[in-house]
């Protein structure tokens, strides 16, 4: 089941982030000090927000090792999704 959730977060990160907030028993609230960062993460970098929360909880409140690698990969994927959308819209408008 956790693999299915992890895989679906690559395709639907905002839905999974909402479900983690709704059903996670304070999982996001423990990872972040304020509500501002999860809200901004939901809008701009949802996969990075999920990766940070996972890394924080898997490290017992400390981000280290594999958690840093997962966060860096999530940032690159999020930025790739943002950049890929602008490139695709530029290409379709040029036709």
pLDDT digits (tens, 9 = 90+) for 20-30: 889 888 888 89
**Is the pLDDT higher at 22 or at 86?**
22
What integer pLDDT is reported at residue 50 of this predicted model?
93
C-alpha to C-alpha distance for 15 and 25, rounded to whole angstroms: 16
SS3 19: helix
Q: Are 47 and 77 in contact (CB under 8 A)?
A: yes
- The pLDDT tens digits of the residues spanning 33-66 come to 889 999 999 999 999 999 999 999 988 888 989 9
Nearest to 75 by CA among 87, 85, 67: 67
Q: What pLDDT does residue 94 have? A: 59
């Amino acid at each position: 089941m956790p693999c299915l959730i992890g895989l679906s977060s690559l395709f639907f990160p905002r839905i999974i982030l909402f479900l983690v907030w709704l059903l996670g028993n304070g999982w996001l609230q423990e990872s972040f000090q304020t509500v501002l960062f999860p809200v901004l993460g939901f809008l701009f970098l949802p996969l990075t927000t999920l990766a940070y929360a996972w890394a924080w909880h898997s490290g017992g409140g400390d981000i280290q090792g594999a958690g840093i690698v997962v966060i860096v990969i999530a940032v690159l994927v999020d930025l790739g999704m943002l950049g890929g959308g602008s490139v695709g819209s530029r290409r379709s408008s040029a036709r």
